[in-house]
Amino acid sequence: MIFRRYPTLRRVIVNTKTDKAFRGLLWRKAQGIMVLRNAELLRDNGTSLKVDGEVVIEVRDIDFIQVLP
């Protein structure tokens, strides 16, 4: 099964293949990228660091996505 729909305009945590994780609003997915707004970089110690602007992540670099309630 191929997953084609993305939970746009939902709060998500995006876990990348480089062991970085971002929490934010999934604004859009287009042309192999995902754009997060109001994003935070999640740190290993349980804290987060607010990221200015938008975060652009290539879909091929994503390990998995968690949709938040």
Residue-level pLDDT at 39: 98
Whole-angstrom Cα distance, residue 14 to residue 21? 5
Q: What b/e readout covers 46-57, taking b as 16+ CB neighbours within 10 angstroms? A: eeeeebeeebeb
Residue-level pLDDT at 7: 79
10-residue mean pLDDT series, the chain (69 residues): 70 96 95 95 96 96 94
